[in-house]
Amino acid sequence: MKRPDGTWDPFDDYVLDFAVERMRAKERVAIVTLVEIEGSSPRPLGAQMAVSETGAWVGYLSGGCIERAIAAEAGDAIASGRSRRVRYGRGSRYIDISLPCGSAIELIFDVGVPLARLDAIDARLEQRQPAALQVPVAGPRIDEGKEELFFTRRYLPRRRLVVFGLGPVPVHLARVAIAAGFEVVVRTPDELTADAARLAGAAIGLSGEGDLEDIDDRSAVVFAFHDHDREERLLPAVLATDAFYIGAMGSRTTQVQRLEKLREKGFGRMDLERIQGPAGLLPHARSASDLALSILAQVVQAARGEEAALISCPTRPVVSSDSRTGPS
């Protein structure tokens, strides 16, 4: 993710926008993908780094212990013009680089990804559509003449958090969610809340029903009003969206009353069970910062359940000869 000052966050989970910018600047780039894990790993299959020929990179593939070695290997792969598969940890030729608990990981250093393919992925994600990149699983384990294998790395649009409310909780939510890589939209009628949330990096809008078009199946919605009457006209509209999480502040008594009002409006059990209230994992959180962390933790928990089988899949044969340049 590019920061407001124009620099890149080196520890972002999504790296292709950095690669696109560097390639447009006529720099050569390696996309490094984690394709095999033996034992434990702090990063999942499909985790990536993008490394420029200048040595700059975005992404991480360990707990911070081997990224510089990976960047150096990527530079060598770029200079040679050949993709490669490299093992780190147990059984690696790099005996001076060890991983915790005697584990091992295998990485593909791909120097052949065309800019047009990365542009297409970025365009789909900007349109809030999933995309995929097929990484050739090169290396000495694949015999010549066998069908080429690919690891399919799937990408989902960034998680989005839409907060309806006013006061300190929406602002603190915006701060922690942006730090966690979310796109954040704060819908508020309060100018002070809007100014503070905008300063944190959130997009700002009015808290009306007409502002729901940005709520999709990659969106979480939080109601952070202390005046719960403000929710009444918004909750039914939000229930009609594909939001993967809906949470609302308030006491348990407030939640009972909230659900009863919706039941009277004709909403059934499945709709009512979508509303988490009181929102958050930590009971009795009182400060705005604690409440924001508690709610975001619950949002991430829900998001991980949705994403479990969607990010990456194992290596597999690919029939199409132009699979690397075709549409997602």
Locate the domains of the chain by residue range. Answer: 16-156+310-317, 160-307
Q: Are strands 219-224 and 160-165 parallel, antiparallel or unpaired?
A: parallel
- Helices 288-307, 168-179: inter-axial angle, 10-degree rounding: 50
Three-state DSSP at 218 gives coil
CA distances from 234 to 187, 239, 276 (A): 11, 9, 15
- The pLDDT, as a whole number, for residue 210 is 60
Q: Which pTM value belongs to this model?
A: 0.84
- The pLDDT, as a whole number, for residue 42 is 85
Topology adopted by domain 160-307 = Rossmann fold (3.40.50)
- The pLDDT, as a whole number, for residue 138 is 62
Which residues, at least 6 apart from 121, have a Cβ–Cβ distance to it below 8 Å? 16, 131, 132, 133, 155, 328
- pLDDT above 50: residue 326: no
- Amino acid at position 179, single letter: A
- pLDDT above 80: residue 323: no
- pLDDT above 70: residue 310: no
Distance CA 200, CA 203 (A): 9
- pLDDT above 60: residue 313: no
Question: Which of residues 151 and 143 earns the better pLDDT score?
Answer: 151
Distance CA 292, CA 114 (A): 41
- The pLDDT, as a whole number, for residue 150 is 84
- The pLDDT, as a whole number, for residue 84 is 92
- The pLDDT, as a whole number, for residue 140 is 45
- The pLDDT, as a whole number, for residue 249 is 93
Distance CA 299, CA 159 (A): 10
Lowest mean pLDDT among 125-134, 269-278, 300-309: 300-309
Distance CA 50, CA 28 (A): 10
- The pLDDT, as a whole number, for residue 308 is 66
As a whole number, mean pLDDT of residues 39-58 equals: 92
- The pLDDT, as a whole number, for residue 230 is 83
Pair 165, 193: CB distance under 8 Å: yes
Distance CA 191, CA 187 (A): 11
- pLDDT above 50: residue 324: no
